[in-house]
Amino acid sequence: MPPSLPFIRLVHRNLRKYRFKIGLSITIAILVLSLVSQYIAPYPREGLGYVPVGEESRRLLPPSPQYLFGTDTLGRDLFSRVIMASRSAIIQAFSVVFLSLIIGLIVGVLAAYFKGLVELVLNYLTELFMAIPSIVIALFFRLTLEAGFHVVIISLVTTWWAWYARITYVYAKGVVELDYVVLAKLSGLSPAKIIMRHVVGVIIQPILVQAISDLGSALLEASGINFMGLGLPPGYPDWGVILYEGISEMGIIAFTRAPWLVFYPGLFILLTTLGFTLLADPLREDLDPRLRRRWKLWF
Amino acid sequence: MPVSLNYIFKRVLLSILVVIGVIVFSYILLLYTPGDPAVKWAGNPRGPEARKAIEIARRELGLDQPIHVQIAQFIYHVFTGNLGLSIAYKVPVSQVITSGFTATLELLIFTYLLAVPLGLWLGIYSALRRGSRFDSFIQSLSVVLASTPTFWLGAIIALISYSTTGFLPYGRVSYKLATSTGFNPITGFYLLDALIQGNYAVFLDALLRIIPPALAISVYPIGVVARVSRTLVAEALLEDYVRSAVAWGVRRNTIIKHFVLKSIIPPVIQISGLAFVYSIVDAMVVESLVFGREGLGSILLDSLHKADFRVTIALAIYLTIFYISVNTIVDIIQASIDPRVKI
Amino acid sequence: MKRIILVLIALIILVAVLVVVLVNKPSLVTPSTTPPSKIVVYAYNDRITGIDPSIEDDTGLVVLGSIYETLTYYDYKTGEVKPRLATNWTSSEDGREWIFRLRNDVVFHDGSLFNATAVKLSIERARDIYRSSGRGAGYIWDALEEVEIVDPYTVKFKLSYPQRVDILASAAYASYIFSPSAIVKSNAANYTDRKLEDWFNGGNAVGTGPYRLVSYDPMREIKLEKFNDWWGWRYINSEKAPDIVVIKIETDPSAQYSGLLSGELDIASSVPRETISNLKKQGFGIIPLPTYHNFVLFYNTKRYPTNITDFRLAIAHAVDLNRVVSEAVLGMGSVASGVLPHGFPGHIEGLTYEFNLDKAREYLKRSGVSTPIKIELLYQIDYEETKKFAAIFKTLMSELGVDVELNGQDWARLKDIARGVWENPEETPHLIVADWWPTIPSPYDYLYAMFHSESKEWNYAGYENPVFDELITKAWEMEGVNYTGALELYKEAQLTLYQNAIALGLWDEIRPFVYSQRVYVPEEALNPMYTFVIRFELVEVRS
């Protein structure tokens, strides 16, 4: 039975922890960057994928004061591209986790609350979607839809919601059999009210913490899909796409010819993921040290 | 503790149902992907007789049947392993995907043979020295490595390998070396084949080329195994029987060997099994895009570009079946160890 | 416990030592022993889609071109058609009857004799499979009524309308001669039986070419062996020609590059352009082959605003093709003039739209299209060049106030979307980048496929112009009787396209073939008409 202290207090209590502080600062920094990057980027148009209009070629220039991270195969300023990509990272990580959480929560609670056939069917569906690799879903959606955020988000959500459905189900199962829920049922309270007040209200906190710790995994997975060229369109400011474009022209030669093309976008993925992880780990340990993390799940 | 047959039966039944569900789901998705498979099968026909050719192709593919018949036939084909000819290459689908499967599997098995013992050792070692500098270093390292994109790490490893030694770890084996020494892959696992044939030159070459991608992929299993075994050992050390053994003056090494190691090996195997299936996609991204190795990743992307829907769906389904089988086995092992756990 | 740790440490040290020691000694990495016989490894950049000599119309060419032969051979340098399996030929005055005399000293790889029966069977099979099922490149034999066997070494082609049969017989697809023994070997009932096709694609071949097929794995490698009874060895010094040829599928350009450096590969078809100067420095031979593979930007002429000629012209004048060639193609292409590539029969200069933004703005004003306006560009993502072109194009168009939405797709999907221009043009992108390479050396090949109103598969402009259709049909039939007159008509047709800006020729690819010092590849071994086919009989292996 998870302790039911409010989320704010949980955060507050952890503020003293060193790891938590680092995680929080990285996360806030990336969030702020995603909001202001298009105003502070030296070449915002190039960040959006336009190529420079100058006379001489700026192709593959190494990092310099003028181009902090160097330039890419089309002469675009890599610094602008990389910092503007923080927005796409935030959008993908948060929308995948948030949407999965909502769907998973609903399915999990319903399965736990209404027993019998509903439970059976919902649990089967959960099991089914947990078994499909997200990359396969991405393939199919890439075939059906045009490139864009929706491909990444839909293909990740299709498989991720099942994970939340499963943990919600396990927690909710423990709650619905408790006396006060049974009493509430007997007193004639509507199921919607019972579910919202007595079930979701109680179990939401550990699941929320779980969701925060999954933001990093979501980003890694989304970047993987974009890196394979299955998600966002070429030229879009996104770290996975920038990495993909960096190596698609020359392959492995890119690492030696222009290592900055590969280095910087990867570093930003690493930093952002690290931020989410450091933020969530202390919370999770505090709440329930035995809670299992969705280790960088690909499937 | 023996697990009840009833549980195994239920678990396997559920898995089979899930596999069938996945097949149905993918088949329906496939029907809604644009582009008529019959047109592709007929080879993009032109001219006045094109319509007729497409009709013939439709019949050959069984697309003129009602949907439930199509799906039933498809399920039959999946389980008999006969998925027909690849649309792009006109050779059996199994021929197209088998080599990719063995290549990726070789890479993964190699990775795990290195990663699991290493992770185990790191975990035990840091548990015994909880709070030490080594422990906190390993702890921080595992957090950082868990946040690292595998494909990026692979690129960094390739770059380091190239800039320090001038050797680009590319492909699975040196082609000329393999032909000039008469290397003949039988099982498709090059390392194994080379050893069996006593072809040490090829073995070394293949080893050199498998290590860099394996390093990149191994980061995740090492981290997971180290983390889990550290917790388990720490817990085990607090158990009463271990404490009393310590009180009785039994030597520490004996305690670890006889009590601790025995109790943590099964859950470590289980967690490695889970990690293994997660690593498949890691491998798919790293092997082809970064290290130019043939494997599931290259076949998948290629089938996509060539609209070879038969290969795409076969890969998707066999991957899923593989994943579910590992999961099922792991669940059963887990249930036989600790019947309380259900998640 | 200690023991386990010790073993583990030992293992780790062992691996580490192995890595350090072995990696530092490249002599162990690259083999010091040279292979015994004269092997040439040719890295080709795509997997093989099939090797049925009558049906295959894609990447199978690279294999077919070495193991099969055609009656004639197209010499791209002079534009002449030269004898190959046929020694000479004559045509009737109306161009509807052609008599070919065949070589009488040719055997197939299985020992069976080459004669008129094989010619009749091979050509009619390509035609009949196309006629009955629309598959393959057999459409080039559309006019063929019958191949008549006059005597064992003479055939007569009877046509329903005049044609240049000598040109058709040199085609890159659908004109290969295979042995009738294939039907027996494959247990096929007749030549259109599916069994025969499966037999071919299963890795079997009976051709007359200088190399014969030894093993066939379309995903990985194709092994060929010198065919000692080839009729042509008499004319070519066979001593230095390779005994074994391996066509190795290497889709990754950097793998081709590192393969060349490590001595794994002898000839490469597609190395990263970035590396060419470096390869040159290291002594590799480079043949920059101007190919007939060209890239064309189609306008969707059935949808606003690309249905307005002035708008299309505005776009055409706003594209800086020199910049595209230098930045997207990295210099490995030439700026296109019209839709026929340089050096191809019927190609004319002066069909490049001048890059002039003022002119473009002028046309835009005249078109009445108000900016900013959003249009969609469909392009292929499996070509590095088209991806970069898309980014450059987007920038160039933004100068005009035209906002380009990029839609990158792989080839199969692009084709599905692009031909939608005929059924629902409003849903189909405004601009489509597509590429083409010819089957036969005739302007008709390009002009019919891409712009004839009946070519619903490849005419992505949705262009319907009866005058244009008649012009090229007339020219096609005139080729058989009055070739220069036909070229005049093709010129007129191209001018029509140019003035109405139906499509914008972008660039013609120049493909750098790289070979190591172990071999010598003469320029004659390559021919843009049969791109990627290397005439290995002309390649010399240096000892």
Amino acid at the residue C47: R
Q: How many residues does chain C have?
A: 543
Give the pLDDT score at B48.
63
Round to whole Å and give the CA distance between B44 and B29.
22
Give Cβ neighbours of residue C317 (< 8 Å, ≥ 6 apart): C353, C354, C355, C356, C357, C359, C360, C363
Stretch A151-159: mean pLDDT? 89
C134: nearest CB among B46, B125, B164: B46
How many B/C residue pairs have CB atoms within 8 Å? 156
Query: Which residues of B, range 220-279, sit inside 8 Å of C by Cβ?
Result: 253, 256-257, 261
Of C253, C262, C332, residue with least CA distance to C511? C332
Q: Do C412 and B168 touch (CB under 8 A)?
A: no
The shortest CB-CB distance from B143 to any of A229, A247, A278 is to: A278
End-to-end CA distance of chain B: 18
C29 pLDDT band (50/70/90 cuts)? very low
B216 touches A: beta carbon within 8 Å: no
How much is the pLDDT for C27? 37
> C: neighbours with 3+ CB pairs under 8 Å?
A, B
CB-nearest to C457 from B44, B85, B114 is B44
Minimal CA separation from C220 to chain B, in Å? 9
Interface test with A, best of C325, C357, C387, C397 (most A CBs within 10 A): C387
Q: Quick: pLDDT tens for C199-219.
A: 999 999 999 999 999 999 998
With CA atoms as reference, the chain B residue closest to A248 would be: B289
What is the band of A179 on the pLDDT scale with cuts at 50, 70, 90? confident
pLDDT of residue C7: 53
First to last CA, chain A: 28
Tokens 């974009």 found at: A226
Interface of C with A (CB under 8 A): 252-255, 257-258, 272, 274-275, 326-327, 381, 384, 387-388, 390-392, 394-395, 398-399, 406-408, 413
A residues 256-295 closer than 8 Å to B (CB)? 256, 259, 262-263, 265-266, 269-270, 273-274, 277-278, 281, 292, 295
C412, pLDDT greater than 80: no
The partner residues of C375 in beta bridges, in order of sequence, read C404
Distance CA B255, CA B251 (A): 6
Contact C252 A233 (CB under 8 A): no
Of C486 and B80, the one with more pLDDT: C486
Best C5, C23, C173, C445 residue to mutate vs chain B (most B CBs within 10 Å): C23
List alpha helices for C109-249, DSSP H.
116-133, 165-168, 181-185, 194-201
**What residue in A sits closest to B221 (Cα-Cα)?**
A295
Residue C19 has pLDDT above 60, yes or no: no
- Residue B166 to chain A, least CA–CA distance (Å): 10
Average pLDDT, rounded, for chain C: 90
Q: Which pLDDT score, from 0 to 100, does residue C14 have?
A: 57
Closest residue to C23, CB basis, from B165, B171, B181: B165
Q: Are C100 and C89 in contact (CB under 8 A)?
A: yes
Contact flag B256-C1 (C-beta cutoff 8 Å): yes
Tens digits of residue pLDDT in B218-255: 998 998 888 888 888 887 777 777 777 777 777 777 77
**Tokens (6 digits) for C271:** 């190395």
- For chain A, say whether B284 makes contact (Cβ under 8 Å): yes
B158 in Cβ contact with A252 (< 8 Å): yes
Q: Which of residues 341-370 of C touch B (CB under 8 A)?
A: none
CB contact under 8 A, A269 and B149: yes
pLDDT at C10: 58
φ, ψ of residue C177 in degrees (nearest 5): -100, 120
Which one, of C347, C248, C335, C333, lies nearest residue C288 by Cα?
C333
Query: Are B239 and B107 within 8 A, CB to CB?
Result: no
Q: Which two three-digit tokens encode residue A22?
A: 């680092």
Partners of residue B300 in chain A, C-beta under 8 Å: 135, 139
- Contact predicate C267/C541, CB 8 Å: no
The partner residue sitting opposite C219, judged by closest CB among B96, B114, B307, is: B96
* pLDDT score at B328: 80
For residue B176, which residues of chain C lie inside 8 Å, CB to CB? 30-31, 35, 41, 263-264
pLDDT tens digit string along C452-484? 998 888 899 999 999 999 999 999 989 988 999
B292–chain C nearest CA distance, Å: 7
Q: Report the C-alpha gap between B342 and B340 in whole angstroms.
A: 6
Q: Which residue has the tokens 């009463």?
A: B240
C327 contacts in chain A (CB < 8 Å):
51, 57, 59, 74-75
Residue C335: both structure tokens together:
């700026």
pLDDT more than 90, % of chain A: 30
pLDDT band at A296 (very low <50, low <70, confident <90, very high): very low
**How far B300 CA lies from chain A's nearest CA (Å)?**
9
**From first to last of its 343 residues, what are the pLDDT tens digits of chain B?**
456 778 788 888 888 888 888 888 878 877 776 667 777 777 667 666 677 777 887 887 777 888 888 888 888 888 887 888 888 888 888 888 888 889 999 999 999 999 999 999 998 888 888 778 888 888 888 888 888 899 899 988 888 887 777 777 778 888 778 877 888 887 888 888 888 888 888 899 899 899 999 999 999 899 888 888 888 888 777 777 777 777 777 777 777 777 777 778 777 877 888 788 778 888 988 888 888 888 888 888 888 777 787 888 888 888 888 888 877 877 777 677 654 444 3
Residue B46: the pLDDT is: 65
ipTM of this predicted complex?
0.83
Residue C17: the pLDDT is 52
Q: What is the mean pLDDT of chain A?
A: 83
pLDDT value of residue B329: 79
How many whole angstroms separate alpha carbon C147 and alpha carbon C314?
51
Q: Three-state SS for B86?
A: coil
Q: Which pLDDT belongs to residue B49?
A: 67
pLDDT, tens digit, 9 for 90 and up, residues A30-51: 999 999 998 999 999 888 888 8
What does the DSSP 8-state code read for residue B281? H
Name the pLDDT band for C181 (thresholds 50, 70, 90).
Answer: very high
Average the pLDDT over C32-53 and give the result.
81
Q: How far is CA A276 from CA A22, A210, B138, C37, in A?
A: 10, 11, 19, 60
Q: Is the pLDDT of residue C313 over 50?
A: yes
Among residues of chain C, what percentage have pLDDT more than 70?
93
pLDDT at A252: 75
CB contact under 8 A, C275 and A143: no
Instruction: Pick the residue of C131, C135, C459 with the most B CBs within 10 A to test the interface with B by mutation.
Output: C135
Measured between beta carbons, the chain A residues lying within 8 angstroms of C390 are 234-235
Give per-residue burial for C170-209: e unless 16+ CB within 10 Å, then b.
bbbbbbbbbbbbbbeebebeebbeeebbbbbbeebbbbbb
Q: What confidence tier does A298 reach under pLDDT thresholds 50, 70, 90?
A: very low
Predicted pLDDT of residue B285: 86
Residue A57's pLDDT is what? 76
